[in-house]
Amino acid sequence: MVRNMYYFISQVWKRPKDGWLGEEQWKRMISWRRGPSVVRIERPTRLDRARKLGYKAKQGIIVVRVRVRRGGFNKPAIRGGRRPKRRGILKITLRKSIRLIAEERAAKRYPNMEVLNSYYVGEDGLYKYYEVILVDRSHPAIINDKNLSWITKQKGRVYRAKTSAGQKIRGLRKSRGFKN
């Protein structure tokens, strides 16, 4: 069976800390942490993943790398009397995923663009990094593209949880155990 380039890229990204990619990621994390939290990049870091999610190297489509904090949502301890179970410090999770927060920050930075999708690219001790694919709704190349013209009719997809990360938190990707 003949395998294409995207197959081999995806195989390397299955274990990103092993082999040559681990050393490369180590160097990337150092430079990414020093840079700004939302950065437009020339081309995707994970080309296979970006292409699966709808990225095309054409006008009207850009990729943005977003840095978001890691970890849970621990709150300061309440000083009043409570039994330990009701103190409300541990096991508090946000309703939004960190990936959705990254998508929202990218959409806020680029108000004329619409979020198509996003994917994970790495993490260090403090931050997680995601790349967000953004599409310009009003660009003629997008309006004339039969596969992407549907996005011109939508506005604020990420804020209405219409992206893949948003559908996941809304519970729309569960199948209730039924298999098709």
Ordered alpha helix ranges (H), 113-174 = 140-143, 164-169
Contact (CB, 8 A) for 157 and 170: no
CA separation for the pair 164, 100 (Å, rounded): 9
| CB count in 10 Å sphere of residue 98 | 18
In the chain the domains, ranked by start, together with CATH numbers, are 36-69+95-169 (3.40.1120.10)
Tens place of pLDDT for every residue, the chain, 180 residues?
889 999 999 999 999 888 888 899 999 999 999 999 999 999 999 999 999 999 999 999 999 999 999 887 777 788 888 887 887 777 777 888 999 999 999 999 999 999 999 999 999 999 999 999 999 999 999 999 999 999 999 999 999 999 999 998 888 876 666 665
Sign of the Cα torsion 55, 59, 109, 43 reads positive
Residue 72 has a pLDDT of 76
Q: Please calculate the CA angle 34-39-45 and round it to the nearest 5 degrees.
A: 95
**Global confidence as pTM:** 0.87
